[in-house]
Amino acid sequence: MDISIRPVLPAQFEDLGEITAQAYLGDGLLDFGADDPYLEQLRAVERRAAEAEVLVALDGDRRLLGGVTYVAPGGPWADIAGEDEAEFRMLAVSPHARGRGAGEALVRACIDRARAAGGLCGIVLSTQPSMLGAHRIYRRLGFVRTPERDWCPLPDLPLLTFRLEL
């Protein structure tokens, strides 16, 4: 599949928000289902794009496949990154596009941005234990588990962490 990665356009904010929300809902990743308060953040693409870099994956027909939020050091969307690390969050691919390389292309774009920034020693992420497909992408691209950085943003919501040395 021919996949291109570029910054999200305002006309895509709502569609990417829905792809992201539906990916999390469809995969059973939200404790409160359609009433989960995290859905507001997943759909807040316009806000994320104003405070971080939101990237989208498009197929050859320019159809939106998914997206990710790349967070530079010190950005307001950073959860676990140190001052010399980038982070990415909210990686989501539409169900119809899964298994065709869109998720990996988005992660590679984040790695490329972190390397191009210069002066960074790594890129990090948090993930739920059940996101096994994403874990395979991270490991294939050289990320390693960092269990000493695992955390719980809410009770009973453990997040695993991965890091790639740049």
Determine the pLDDT at residue 1.
64
Q: Which residues of the chain have pLDDT under 70?
A: 1
pTM for the full predicted model:
0.95
The residue extents of the domains of the chain are 3-165
User: What is the topology classification, in CATH, of domain 3-165?
Assistant: Aminopeptidase (3.40.630)
Between strands 144-145 and 122-127, the pairing is unpaired
Task: Report how far residue 161's alpha carbon sits from residue 99's, in angstroms, rounded to the nearest whole number.
Answer: 22
* Amino acid (one-letter) located at 84: D
3-state secondary structure of 132: helix
